[in-house]
Amino acid sequence: MDSGGVLRLDEDQQKALQEEGRVILKASAGSGKTTTIVGLYLHLLRKGVGTHEIVAITFTEKAAAELKERIYRGVMGEEKLKEKERIVTALTHAPIGTIHSFCASILRDYPLEAGVHPDFRVFEEVESDQILTEAVRTYLDRLNSIT
């Protein structure tokens, strides 16, 4: 996005906007994935697709926060976007985030079908490491007691 809030896409990024249905972007760091996703997201909004119908997934919390911020700025910079205020409000609940948060939302919506407790929670990294360490210790202790 330039200083005027206009999103600048190269030829390959423009091609992504022509795709129908699901789009998966896989590229190296710094290649413009986030810019392309923002461009595609804005393109879909211009076509009348609702924020609840667009899923934008990345892998890290930092990248997800940047993606949300850049989509928000893109929406604010769109002059031709109908119902901008409604869209800005809807962005707070839009499925834009990490693969973990997306999967957790599906599990929360369908806990019985998924076989998980409705009040489950996703462990933080430190907590997960502690549980894994304890599980390995327990396994090794049991293994040592057998031999």
pLDDT tens for 66-124 read: 999 999 999 999 887 888 889 999 999 999 999 989 999 999 999 999 999 999 988 88
Tokens found for residue 29: 């760091």
Asked if residue 67 is part of any domain, the answer here is yes
Q: Which residues pair with 57 in a beta bridge?
A: 97
Q: Which domain holds residue 119?
A: 11-146
Asked if residue 1 is part of any domain, the answer here is no
Cα 104 to Cα 98: distance, rounded to the nearest angstrom: 10
Cα 90 to chain centroid distance, Å, stands at 15
Cα 75 to Cα 83: distance, rounded to the nearest angstrom: 10
Write the DSSP symbol of residue 58: E
pLDDT tens for 8-67 read: 777 767 776 676 777 777 777 777 788 888 988 998 999 999 999 999 998 888 999 999
Name the domain count of the chain: 1
Asked if residue 99 is part of any domain, the answer here is yes
Q: What is the pLDDT of residue 121?
A: 87
Asked if residue 2 is part of any domain, the answer here is no
- Which amino acid belongs to residue 41? Y
